[in-house]
Amino acid sequence: MRRSRFASVVCAVFFAMAVSGIACAADSGPETIEFPGGKKGVVTFNHKQHQEKFKCGECHHGPGHSDYTEGMEIKKCEECHNKEMANKKLNKPMKAFHKNCKGCHKEQGGPTKCKECHVKK
């Protein structure tokens, strides 16, 4: 009887893990994201293309820049990257994007000039 109960619990745990994994994989965010970009123009970010090349944690992180973990709630960047942030070099989403995106693009061979990402409509 105990073995049967243990086997049932193990099966239930594996089933729950499989279902949660499918749910996480299904919610991979939008295919593209548009950022206003101010006077320089709109930045259309191909989220899907970046997901195919990089791990989520290379861009997304938790409070205090803690490591991203699977299933972590993705908040809007400006929730932390705002005028209240102590680090003045990252106190706007734009500053964080420029630091992270341009740095990666320099390493990986992506666009680094303003007009290559910012498009006036």
The DSSP letter of residue 50 is H
* Structural contact between residues 20 and 71, judged by C-beta atoms closer than 8 angstroms: yes
Tell me, what's the pLDDT at 70? 86
Nearest Cα to Cα of residue 107 among 74, 71, 72, 58: 58
Residues 20 and 40 in one domain: no
Token reading at 70: 């699977």
| Best-predicted range by mean pLDDT (18-22, 25-29, 72-76, 109-113) | 109-113
Residues 38 and 96 in one domain: yes
Upper half-sphere CA count for residue 79 (Cβ side, 13 Å): 11
What CATH number does residue 104 fall under?
Answer: 3.90.10.10
| pTM greater than the 0.85 cutoff | no
Mean pLDDT, the chain, whole residue set: 79
Residues 77 and 24 in one domain: no
**In the chain, % of residues over pLDDT 90:** 49
Residues 24 and 46 in one domain: no
Residues 82 and 115 in one domain: yes
- Tokens 């390493």 correspond to what residue? 107
Residues 71 and 35 in one domain: yes
Residues 84 and 25 in one domain: no
Residues 22 and 81 in one domain: no
Separation of alpha carbons 82 and 78, rounded Å: 5
Residues 80 and 111 in one domain: yes
Number of domains, the chain? 2
- Residue span of the structural domain in which 16 resides: 1-29
